[in-house]
Structure 1
Amino acid sequence: MSDLHVRAKALDAEDELGGKRAEFVLDDTVYLDGNSLGALPAHVPERVADVIDRQWGKLRIRSWEESGWWTAPERIGDRIAPLVGAAPGQIVVGDSTSVNVFKALVAAVRLARGEDAGTGARDEGRDEIIVDATTFPTDGYIARSAARLTGCRLTPLTPAEVPAALSPRTAAVLLNHADYRTGRLHDLPGLTAAVHAAGALAVWDLCHTAGALPVGLDAHGVDLAVGCTYKYLNGGPGSPAYIYVRAELQDRFDSPLPGWNSHAEPFGMRPEFEAAEGALRGRVGTPDILSMLALEAALDVWDGVSMDAVRAKSLALTDFFLRCVEAYVPKGLVESLTPEAHAERGSQVALRCSPKLSTSFEQGGAPLAGDVMKRLTERGVVGDFRAPDVLRFGFTPLYVSFVDAERAARVLAEILES
């Protein structure tokens, strides 16, 4: 038994979040892909069965009122709010991340221009959208479409380049809180302040940070934010996303996708649109109840959990994993793309495979990283990869243990050495 394995067991014994692991459906697999799909909370199947058997099966249409289906988007939004540092009444759940990015970005441009819905008032000077050039591809696609719709030019930049590029022409800036490839954490407070100093609005994508570390939306004055719920929030495959609209902006939030669910009088069936009050303006159509209530049940695992404790364990886990990789993996076979500085690190570790490994693997047209990850999965260590050479390991503090981290590094070393 190695010294690092002994140390891992000792760290698990001291872990204040260690008891949370029992609340998830897990097996002997080391599951390090919660940055793509979180593990199943153990109580969710029973809760979903009740939604199907009793609420839908017996109460049927009555469940919109008697089971609270109608208010689920804002109710669940208030459950997510403390996990991202937001007061109640600013988050509504529904639609996909992509749809919410579109709503938030177009609305941000309209807000920056001082447009009043229906009046035609407009500051023509704000004609630029800046988008994170390293962002997940869909955000870039949506930003390009939003730019066409609003008549803006689109400027792709790395987050580090944004402050110097801001100008009186900038309307909105769309940024990822963490790089999905490397796990690099971007400076949300500093970048938001820089965007505001230029008179523009900041839109943040929280998909790779919500549930893994404190975000501080209210504290840092973020204007609009979106995020998914199936990663660190463990809401299930395809669970609905959410949109955050800062309270001070809600009366001017002009969604490009007004729907009957965002109407001030949804059952009035009036042809003219009148926006509802508050974050409800972020709703569009009928809520996807089955997946939404599965998410609501999944959020129970967060009861009594401190986000500061989550962040502390996340950093300790990633530090320990990197230490094990350094100890076990022969020099030169992988290099870490994940920043060493805690302030710049999310909750994943990205390792780039050395080109010298390509001669040791029968790739058959598959990317090198894909071949390595396939062998890891066969050995009971599940992460994922980004072609051609990046291995990604997500560390979900609620259920990943230090023994998991040590085993993953040890198995990786055995595969690369062989």
Structure 2
Amino acid sequence: MPIPPAASRADPDIISLGCRLNIAESETIRAFVAGRNMVVVNSCAVTNTAVRETRDRIRRARRDRPGAEIVVTGCAAQIDPSGFAAMPEVDRVIGNVDKLTPAAWASAEPVIVADIMAVRDTAPHLAEAFTPAFSGHARAFVEVQNGCDHRCTFCAIPFGRGNSRSVPAGAVIDRIGALVDAGHREVVLTGVDLTSYGPDLPGAPTLGMLVERILRHVPALERLRLSSLDGIEIDGRLFDLLTGEKRIMPHVHLSLQAGDDMILKRMKRRHSRQQSVALVERLKRARGDIAIGADLIAGFPTEDDAMAANTLALIGDCDIVHAHIFPYSERDGTPAARMPQVAMPVRKARAAALRAAAAERRRAWLASLVGSTQQILVERPGDRGHAANFADVRFPADRLDVGSIAAIKITATDGKNLTGTAA
């Protein structure tokens, strides 16, 4: 079954910023507001830059669609509802919990933001009778967990998402089964702290147990991908699935954040540098084609040159080829914002050094794939897609069905992407 086409201009605009969880939730919102002259900005608050981008997109939306209702939701709206409600471009503000309930979108209240820390349930939208069509996305995103019980000193996301809570496996399996029936061949499991899945549910299942049940009960699912993982919580069951189950994509994105032990302690992370390196070594020994991604922060408070060098060396030590790198951003109310700060030019320079090292590592990895044949999930408009290892592949000589899986012979790389032709 072909993937449904992208939304037309007459449909509401849903602008998703930030994480894959927001993408998943935006498709639920799209179903709630179908047919309305509305722009929804599903915001991100992970950095000050993300908040600024949210404000920029709101202003742009008002210029582009002057007659539309502008509604802001997501983490930035949850953390600072009055600030966004005060923007002249904004008509309504809806919080992170309320955005998944039809009643909030049927209401005319200008601000609907519940106390996120009081929430004990997650994903109420999974009880609805519809299945999001993901608006032309080749892969579908399924929320299985929300919130976070950890309090990393740099992070404001718990204030936007609340405490950790998990979706029962039955609801997850039903949703994935419906998405597969609708034509999706790859599903991505998403969450704020995905590897913390399960202890709040009866029997305290783990993420590995959930993945086993998905694979067993949805045999038609061809490709399962996991979003960011906390390496310290990858237990033996999940490790064996990541390395031995071919329907799970060989792409592990780790929430590393730093490569220096003192900085990791000041971040209140629960792993050491050596634990991260050892985990990657074990993963790659067990499954040689696994591609490693990671989140890294440059210029965390108190970071000196030697500490920064330890994080820089982590790019090679963990063979990171999909790097998400951010200069540290002070978030109000977090402990790190009260620590001695690294000058912004230094943060930016260290982030640039990390990006350069990661780009060089990626270039070498992509060059090693030239001559191979990769199974590509074809994405819009039909001449590009991602391999199982999440390498970005272009095939301009061919136009293939969006959502199909195609064998592509890799012929070249420009250092950032691969190029090939249908095999």
Higher alpha-carbon Rg? 1
Q: Which has the higher helix share?
A: 1
Is TM > 0.5 for Structure 1 vs Structure 2? no
Larger relative contact order (Cα-Cα within 8 Å, sequence gap ≥ 6):
1
TM-score tier (shorter):
under 0.3
